[in-house]
């Protein structure tokens, strides 16, 4: 699977560009590049449902982020202890990477998942549910309760944004009087 490694390196480069570029619009575009790299890797890894969803979500995210940053120019402040903080963060990340690497060594190797639970889905979906898209069947039949939670999370985010966008948070005395009239 050399292609997936190459794609990952491509995504990493795009991600580094996204966080290091000075111009905000360019960095948002770089995130888009990383996201489309991700879509292609999903296709390579045989997850077409996910590729479609990620593609569409990516576009929506990009539009929101681009519109948010399009008129904004930013000076980047570098505080006095820039070097110290960066070194501390780097050391922390290095420790995290080493621990993560050791943990990865004990996982089943790439390409050979255990699939203890999933055998059930592969057997049941066509036989009992009569659906042909297994991922859809898992999302909306076997684990539909998860999807309810996920729909609720979306709903909560939408209501939350509407709440945050209110022009006036608190009612003043005049507002109350107007209301009672």
The conformational region for residue 51 under phi > 0 = left, psi -120 to 50 = alpha, else beta, is: alpha
CB 106 within 8 Å of CB 99: no
Longest distance between any two alpha carbons in the chain, whole Å: 72
54 makes contact with another protein (CB under 8 A): yes
Q: How far is CA 4 from CA 68, 117, 135, 143, in A?
A: 32, 26, 22, 29
Q: How far is the CB of 110 from another protein (least distance, A)?
A: 5
93 makes contact with another protein (CB under 8 A): yes
Q: Which of 26, 81, 160, 178 is in the footprint of another protein by CB under 8 A?
A: 160
175 makes contact with another protein (CB under 8 A): yes
Q: How far is the CB of 92 from another protein (least distance, A)?
A: 8
Q: Which of 23, 48, 81, 178 is in the footprint of another protein by CB under 8 A?
A: 48
Q: How far is the CB of 177 from another protein (least distance, A)?
A: 13
Q: Which of 23, 91, 156, 178 is in the footprint of another protein by CB under 8 A?
A: 156
How far is Cα 10 from Cα 28, in angstroms, rounded to an integer?
Answer: 16
How far is Cα 94 from Cα 100, in angstroms, rounded to an integer?
Answer: 10
Map the footprint of another protein across residues 132-151, applying CB under 8 A. 132-151
Q: Which of 81, 84, 89, 91 is in the footprint of another protein by CB under 8 A?
A: 89
CB 73 within 8 Å of CB 160: no
87 makes contact with another protein (CB under 8 A): no
Q: Which of 26, 63, 84, 178 is in the footprint of another protein by CB under 8 A?
A: 63
CB 15 within 8 Å of CB 34: yes
Q: Which of 103, 174, 177, 180 is in the footprint of another protein by CB under 8 A?
A: 103
């Amino acid at each position: 699977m050399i292609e997936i490694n190459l794609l990952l390196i491509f995504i990493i480069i795009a991600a580094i560009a996204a966080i290091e570029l000075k111009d905000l619009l360019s960095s948002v575009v770089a995130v888009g590049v990383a996201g489309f790299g991700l879509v292609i890797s999903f296709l390579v890894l045989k997850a077409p449902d996910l590729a479609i969803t990620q593609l569409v979500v990516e576009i929506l995210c990009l539009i929101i982020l681009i519109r948010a940053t399009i008129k904004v120019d930013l000076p980047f402040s570098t505080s006095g202890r820039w070097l110290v903080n960066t070194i501390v963060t780097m050391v922390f990340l290095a420790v995290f990477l080493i621990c993560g690497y050791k943990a990865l060594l004990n996982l089943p190797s790439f390409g050979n998942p255990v699939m203890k639970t999933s055998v059930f889905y592969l057997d049941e979906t066509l036989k009992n549910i009569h659906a042909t898209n297994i991922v859809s069947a898992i999302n909306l039949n076997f684990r539909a309760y998860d999807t309810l939670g996920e729909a609720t999370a979306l709903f909560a985010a939408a209501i939350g944004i509407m709440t945050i966008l209110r022009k006036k948070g608190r009612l003043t005395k005049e507002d109350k009087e107007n209301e009672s009239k």
